Amino acid sequence: MKRAIRSGNLFDHHASADADEQIDALVEQGGVSIERIVSMGHASPPGFWYDSPRAEWVVLLSGAAALEFEGEAEPHQMKAGDHVLIDVHCRHRVAWTSDQEPSVWLAVYYPDDAST
C-alpha cells in the first residue's frame, strides 16, 4: 500500500498584526492533535481562559510571548525554544505575543489517561 507523504515548513506563513491568529491542524489522530499557531500581537480576550479536557504541550519556536495561569501572580514569559506542559483543566490564557515578529507555536494536545 502506497502512503501519501505530507510535508511543509512550520515557518512558511503570512502573519501580520492586523490579521487573525493563524491556526493550522497538522495531525489529528487517536485523540492527539498537533497544531501550528502563528500569533503576532495577539492575546486572549479579557476574561477568557482556556480550560481543556486534554493535556497540552506547547513550544514557542520563534518570537516571544507570555502565558498567564489562573492563581499565578506573574505571567510565564517565553522566548524561542521555551516549552511548557499544561495539565488537563489548568486554566490559562495568552497574556501577549510579540507585535514585532511572528510568534510560531507548536502545540500538542493529548488525552491524559491518568486523569480519567
The CATH number covering residue 51 comes to 2.60.120.10
What is the rounded CA–CA span in Å between residue 39 and residue 57? 17
**Residue with cell string 479579557:** 46
Domain that holds residue 50: 24-115
Task: Specify the number of domains making up the chain.
Answer: 1
Which is it for strands 32-39 and 55-62: parallel, antiparallel or unpaired?
Answer: unpaired
What is the rounded CA–CA span in Å between residue 20 and residue 38? 9
> How do residues 83-112 score in pLDDT, each as one tens digit?
999 999 999 999 999 999 999 999 999 998
Contact between 55 and 116 under an 8 Å Cβ cutoff? The reply is: no
Does any domain span residue 12?
no
> How do residues 34-89 score in pLDDT, each as one tens digit?
999 999 999 999 999 999 999 999 999 999 999 999 999 999 999 999 999 999 99
What is the rounded CA–CA span in Å between residue 98 and residue 42? 8
